[in-house]
Amino acid sequence: MPSVLRIALPVPLPTLFDYLPPTAGEADVGSRVLVPFGRGKAVGVVVETEAAANVDSKRLKRALRVLDPSPLLDAELMATLAWAADYWLGAPGEAYANALPLLLREDKPLPETQEPVWQLTHAGRSALDAGSRRGGSRALLQTLSEGPLSVTDLDTAALGDWRAAARRLSEAGLIERGEQAPPTATHPSMPAPALHPEQQAAVHAVSEAFDRFQAFLLDGVTGSGKTEVYLALIERALAQGKQALLLVPEIGLAPQTVRRLRDRLGVPIEVLHSNLAEGERARAWLRMRSGESKVVLGTRSAVFTPLPQAGVIIVDEEHDSAYKQQEGFRYHARDLALVRARSLNVPVLLGSATPSLESLANVEAGRYQALHLRSRPAASRPPQVQIIDMRAQRLEHGLSPALLHTVSETIARGEQVLVFRNRRGYAPVLLCHGCGWHADCPRCERPMTLHAAWRRLICHHCDHTSPLPASCPACGSQELKPQGQGTERLEEALTAHFPQTPVLRIDRETTRRRDAFEQLLGRLHADAPAILVGTQMLAKGHDLPNLTLVAIVGVDEGLLSVDFRAGERLAQLVVQVAGRAGRAQKPGRVLLQTHHPDHPLLRSLLSQGYAAAAKDLLSERRQALLPPYAHQVLLRCDAHQRDTVDAFLGEARAALPDTDTLQIAGPMPAPMPLRAGRHRGQLLIESDHRRHLHAAVRPWAMRLAQLPGARKVRWSLDVDPIDL
Ligand code: ADP
Ligand code: ZN
Ligand code: ZN
């Protein structure tokens, strides 16, 4: 039997595809090949070369062409991707598609690693000096007279339709295309501070492990100097000629970190995030692959960057749920970072002020080494936290007199206040006082949020919107009353209450435009009073040295939620937001307004801090046999009809092996049984042992697509789901 190529193709099917080798060219594992697929062609990645054919080889098609003479994906990435597809029960082709930038998934030659530039010719310079005017082209000539610029630079330079201008100027011989010189190392413009002993100990521990795999958890409050530890480790990796990968949950909120890295390290930094132009993403990926670049900073998918000279991998804010991909290939970037570190034989450092219970359990089990930063160089002392009991208080738009009083004292001192409310819009419910009717989304059967400025009701689950009714559709009463508060309403209330003080709202609506977040915060004067109102976007990013009071309102939903992770999330959020208070020389203060002042989680959090609260939460999880002490796979399914959902989940349930190593819950409705007009259901499979779980679920997952009901529903599998 002839040997065949086994190829991963970017389709959501749980298999690899067999092809005969192309007539010319040698296809290696990790090379891309062009193959006939369906009625067209597809670019795939060779996973095996000497495979035995699964089907009669006469029926196999032949691969058309090898795109890479030598593998684009190295052995380590290939092994990691195979592991990831198996672990997260993903389609192998989708795992590879996640790993490769879009441009590298096309049948095209690899882009040059440096972007071409436009530059002035001699004629262009003389024309400019002679002051010639060439219509709208002069602005471009002027801009290029300061030096060559790449397409990306020009796109961001606010030059209008510069492409048309470039065409005219190049036809006239005034500008030409050129090669960009590779970025040269600049000198670090910012010296490193002398590390304090805890930082030194952390850097020492991790760099001791530079030539082997070891996982570390760096636990330190905001401002304790974690980023300085990352920088020192990256510097050490660079000094040994090695590469470093730094993952962050969201780049938009971390431009300060980008600047800090650039200023400090004095080498080019690749920054990978979702807004990056595809050409830039592909070039950055290739520069890391060639070793031309040494440092990459990026969000979730940057975990797939090639690291042929890996030195260290760092995951900042490791508890952040943004690391979990919630659609398609549902991998967790933090967990994948650990897998990569192991196969690359390098240390991995997870950092957080509020470590996930998973990571804390790994410390407890001896799998990770804990490193602590307890002191806080940037703050004189930790913020003082106080609970405001809201029961029996006269509230003004949800704000208690004690809270308003403290806000007014703070701004009178010329300092700034952050009012945190994790809900955008004006009010989460619009209620009729006449009959109790409230506005529900017809597609989700959940209350719609009132957005006053737009005079609309918007469903935050499916984005369905409708105009504000003038009267109650049920009884005709005009008395429609907003219930509860969103950020928009708090902004209005605070503006009315403190007319002399600027009130800035920061949520998804006010920061829709790129850079809007930075611009809004840039409007704050370091030495003038101001009030910020916003959602959890405010928990991160940007130092605010004059911010001394954080008021947390409306977190009670998190105390009452049925989701077993709600307590952990609430504790993390409260600590992260509270950490914004009191940097620089001024002490900070935190107020937490609640109807449940005696709730055990709040009590342990406020009296003993996050570590103690997390310990309590972990022991609850252990007793209830919940993750991280049990392992879960969730089958989700949705369809237009409830019956179709039930039928498929019933078939899936019946197809599961009967073994006492698995606990099965369901089929049952999802926590939101209806969303965007689709009925939703789920089947939860749990086990105390990950091995048992995977052994049982792996063959089952392969059969799901063949079940008779599968074609009538949308379904997906989620390994280690983070929301049920
Ligand atoms: P984190 O990442 O834990 O929030 P950072 O590393 O950003 O903390 O440190 C907070 C502030 O303290 C920064 O302004 C940083 O420059 C400063 N800082 C950190 N470590 C030191 C140190 N050893 N000496 C002086 N300043 C420090
Ligand atoms: Zn009514
Ligand atoms: Zn809806």
H-only helix segments in 546-641 = 556-560, 566-578, 600-608, 610-624
Position 514 pLDDT exceeds 90: no
Could you tell me the pLDDT band of residue 495, with boundaries at 50, 70 and 90? very high
Position 184 pLDDT exceeds 60: no
12-25 tens-digit pLDDT: 888 899 999 888 88
User: Is residue 432 a known part of a binding site?
Assistant: yes
Q: How far apart are CA 379 and CA 309, in angstroms?
A: 37
> What's the pLDDT at 226?
93
Asked whether the beta carbons of 215 and 186 are under 8 A apart, the reply is no
The finding on whether 227 has its CB within 6 A of some atom of ligand 1 is yes
Tell me which residues have their CB within 5 A of the ion that is ligand 2: 432, 434-435, 437, 472, 474-475, 477
Chain centroid to CA 4: how far? 39
48-77 tens-digit pLDDT: 988 777 666 678 899 999 998 889 999 999
The finding on whether 224 has its CB within 6 A of some atom of ligand 1 is yes
Does residue 188 have a cis bond before it (omega within 30 degrees)?
Answer: no
> What's the pLDDT at 366?
96
Higher pLDDT, 426 or 110: 426
The finding on whether 228 has its CB within 6 A of some atom of ligand 1 is yes
Average pLDDT on 128-134 reads 68
Other Cβ atoms less than 10 A from the Cβ of 473: the count is 11
> What's the pLDDT at 541?
61
Q: How far apart are CA 574 and CA 550, in angstroms?
A: 10
Q: Percent of the chain having pLDDT more than 70? A: 93
Work out which ligand 1 atom sits closest to the CA atom of 220.
3
| Least confident stretch, 221-225, 432-436, 463-467, 718-722 | 221-225
Q: How far apart are CA 672 and CA 584, in angstroms?
A: 44
374-389 tens-digit pLDDT: 876 655 566 778 888 8
Position 182 pLDDT exceeds 60: no
Tell me which residues have their CB within 5 A of the ion that is ligand 3: 441, 443-444, 459, 461-462, 464
Q: Percent of the chain having pLDDT more than 90? A: 58
**Cα–ligand 3 centroid distance for 484 (angstroms):** 19
Identify the nearest ligand to the CA of 202 by its number: 1
**Cα end-to-end span (Å), the chain:** 47
Nearest residue (by CA) to ligand 1, atom 15, is 225
User: Is residue 444 a known part of a binding site?
Assistant: yes
Asked whether the beta carbons of 580 and 382 are under 8 A apart, the reply is no
Instruction: Please name the helix (run of DSSP H) or strand (run of DSSP E) that holds residue 505, with its range, or none.
Output: strand 503-506
Position 268 pLDDT exceeds 80: yes
Nearest residue (by CA) to ligand 1, atom 10, is 223
Could you tell me the pLDDT band of residue 481, with boundaries at 50, 70 and 90? very high
Could you tell me the pLDDT band of residue 135, with boundaries at 50, 70 and 90? low
From edge to edge, which strands make up the β-sheet containing 65-66? 17-19, 3-8, 40-52, 32-37, 65-66
User: Is residue 637 a known part of a binding site?
Assistant: no
440-459 tens-digit pLDDT: 999 999 999 999 999 999 99
Q: How far apart are CA 404 and CA 183, in angstroms?
A: 53
Asked whether the beta carbons of 591 and 386 are under 8 A apart, the reply is yes
- Count Cβ neighbours within 10 Å for each residue of 63-76 and write b for 16 or more, e otherwise: bbbbbbeebbbbeb
**Cα–ligand 2 centroid distance for 464 (angstroms):** 22
**Cα–ligand 2 centroid distance for 491 (angstroms):** 28
Q: How far apart are CA 269 and CA 261, in angstroms?
A: 8
Q: How far apart are CA 539 and CA 577, in angstroms?
A: 5
> What's the pLDDT at 180?
65
Could you tell me the two tokens for 241? 């000629």
| 284 conformational bin, left if phi > 0, alpha if psi -120 to 50, beta if neither | alpha
Position 84 pLDDT exceeds 80: yes
Phi then psi dihedrals of residue 650, to 5 deg: -65, -45
Average pLDDT on 340-368 reads 96
Other Cβ atoms less than 10 A from the Cβ of 184: the count is 7
From edge to edge, which strands make up the β-sheet containing 449-451? 449-451, 456-458, 465-467
Counting Cα atoms < 13 Å in the Cβ hemisphere of 25 gives 20
Predicted ipTM of the assembly: 0.97
The finding on whether 246 has its CB within 6 A of some atom of ligand 1 is no
30-42 tens-digit pLDDT: 999 999 998 999 9
Position 183 pLDDT exceeds 60: no
DSSP secondary structure, 184-238, as one string = PPPPPSSPPPPPPHHHHHHHHHHHHTTTS-EEEEEEE-TTSSHHHHHHHHHHHHH
The finding on whether 584 has its CB within 6 A of some atom of ligand 1 is no
> What's the pLDDT at 50?
80
Nearest residue (by CA) to ligand 1, atom 18, is 225
Could you tell me the two tokens for 202? 């952390």
Does residue 401 have a cis bond before it (omega within 30 degrees)?
Answer: no
Q: What pTM did the predictor assign?
A: 0.88
Residues with Cβ within 8 Å of residue 51, at least 6 apart in sequence? 3, 4, 5, 6, 18
Mean of per-residue pLDDT scores for the chain: 88
